[in-house]
Structure 1
Amino acid sequence: MSKFWTVLFHTYISRVKTKSFIISTIITMLFVLAFLNVDKIFALFEDDEVKQVAVIDQTEQLFDPLVKQIEQSGDEIELHKFEEDEKAAEDAIHEGELDGVLILSFNDEGLPEGVLKAGTVTEEKWIGPLENALQQMKVMIATNQLELSPEEVAAIYEPVSFERIAIEEGAKTETEVAQATFIVNFLTILIYMAVLIYGMMIVTDVAQEKSSRVMEILVSSVSPVAQMFGKIFGIALLGVTQIVVLILVGFLSIQSTSNTEDSIANVLQLNQLPVSTLVYAVVFFLLGFLLYATLLAMLGSLVSRVEDANQVVTPVVMLIIAAFFLATFGMNAPESTFITVMSFIPFFTPMLMLMRVGMLQIPVWEIALSIGLLAGTVVLFAIIGARIYRGGVLMYGKTSLKDIKQAIALTKK
């Protein structure tokens, strides 16, 4: 047992000290911070300069109402009544004196319409408000033509009252479903990335030791089983370290913006997230990682060169990708029979059952059964994987999945 801990801590410490781990952690932290503060980042690059827009009012009626509408909206746009022709306005735009020219007219129904000419038409920050202001004027004129009162207009545009109420006992509320969707999306991506990144670390570790012949020295002092599980848990601990750091950074970032109404914390009310959802998330994440890590370590033992690793682990990677897509599309129909059945298949359970637990109120026995099947499969593949690993680490040459039978034969010898 002491040799198992030696391999575990050696794997963990040697990896956590590497420049690649430190740099990748810092880069991912920056990405998390950027994602959670994307609105603030965009604000830094926004142009606060007041836009100068000339208005050619062919109706002689729309300029003043448009100015009032823009002033009420508080947008940084300054309108100027332009008495010259369009060509002069276009020349002023080219020379940088104006940002745009708006040509106002009436259509056949007597309603306002506009044509905006600018150097570019991609700056939605000031073009959008102009269009909205003209739209409001159109509504006002149309309602006057129809002789509607302001109260009647307000009643027409008032959003419809639509409330969702679940009447089944224990069913998720709309807020709980939104919370679950966020956390399930986050954790599904986390499981997917963790298995691919840290699982492949196990494969490359074994392949590097075999290609450098270090494995021949290791097997003489440490049993292959201790090596296998030492590497799995060492890499798992490495992954947990990185994930905890990233979650902590994300949590602190969310908390720092929780005083704003549109922050993620307030919109989703993450502080009210059920503890059971988080517990199940941790359980399914750990069991899912152990299942796929065991498979990858087992197949990695057959690889003699790092270049051959992708060929051998492709079936496992395809399973992970399939589980990810099933969970992604399953969010639209979590109660479907297909998703329900697939959630009990251990390879898909970590993502699909987590999605169902988060979004639905399902019986406890279903959760217990899925966890039991998943844990049992982890133990089964651990036993099988240990046997294959014991013989596989001593095999060299061209690698294929057919070598599993030969690895088991070597183990018996």
Structure 2
Amino acid sequence: MTANPLFPRHHRRAGLALLVAVALSGVLTACDETPGPAGVGLAELAQRDVDAGAPGVIVRVDDGGGRVVELARQAPWTTADHVLSASDAFRMGSNTKTMVATVVLQLVAEQRLRLTDPVGKWLPGLVPNGDAITLRMLLGHTSGLFNYRDDPDVLKAFTGQDTRVWTPRELLAAATAHDPLFAPGTDYAYSNTNYVALGLVAEKVTGRSLGDLVQERIAGPLHLKRTYLVEGNDGTGESSALAHGYEPDAAHIAPLLPSGTPAGTAFAGPARSAGYVDTTFVNASTQWAAGGMVSTAPDWARFDSALLSGELLPPALLEEMQTTRPEEAAFPDRRYGLGLERVTTPCGTVWGHNGQVAGYSSEAYTDDTGKRTASVLTATIFGLAAPKAGAANRELVNAAVCAMLGKPVPATSTVPAG
């Protein structure tokens, strides 16, 4: 979402959070007090996060030694909508890209696709200069394609101000109506357009819907019971079981938006106390292959473990996925592979992704063996933009990742801004 007027990278990457709230309803195991900074436990750090302004947060940490931390916290004003549980379904945002990339690479393993295939081979006429843009470029965000979320009309749908249901082809058309950012393969720029194109390629080569491919190739074999792709606006109709997401209302979000954001930009939804709107049921049609997955913290940890341990891809293609390049200069601690990020943290290197859609921020990581996992799912994006909330969130993220790796949080550490 690099150039997006609403979500510049410093918002997409800053403190994507593990927030938790005043009312505990998740599973607190005996290990929920895993020491964080100065011996503070994850549960206390999660509560601090909520007290700082996060509407709700789910935290799950597995250190690979049989100890699993699962907890949820939420602000009291949110309980009338939904009592948050550590196993609740959650919109995973751009974590979706890792799963879509896995499907595409499985098709490469089956020799139905090649990383060197030009997108024009599979989507003739849909992508200008498509003969010069390869599937590898799409997977690694080096295509130069404009990010469709920067288009003003798409942005209105993303924030729920417009209820128009966008199709994947319409999203691709909205992007390609704009000039490319650079010549294919010459630079890096994170763009959701790349993954919409990849989703269409996967459907073209298989004759199956992307949602079916996810179920048949990943969710089914891994027994992920509450993981599915939203196709259209409401996916499988399971949205009533979602953890609720929230964004600051128009008055409160205005000072948090980046300069250059179109006037009047705000999220639609029923008003809530504390200056928020409920965005749970906002228009989801702009997500699809770029950010449309719904899952749970346990399900996503299972996926990350399977991927990094080699269950889903042959070694050569997992190595391709983990061959990274630097992201924008502002994020020196993050490198992007093929739908997978390598992140340097105060306690070591982890693999995974993060994501944001209206009312939901997610971070999901594992070690390089897939044995250890950490997930932090937060019920807001811009609720974390205030300095106090952002700092509390970063402290919690640090503690969760360090607990995953079995290390104490360095006293002076901060989470990378990315």
Which category describes the TM-score, using the shorter chain as reference length? under 0.3
Structure with higher Rg: it is 1
- Structure with higher strand content: 2
- Structure with higher helix content: 1
Using structure 1 for the length normalisation, give the TM-score: 0.22
Using structure 2 for the length normalisation, give the TM-score: 0.22
Q: Which has the higher contact order (CA 8 A, sep 6+)?
A: 2
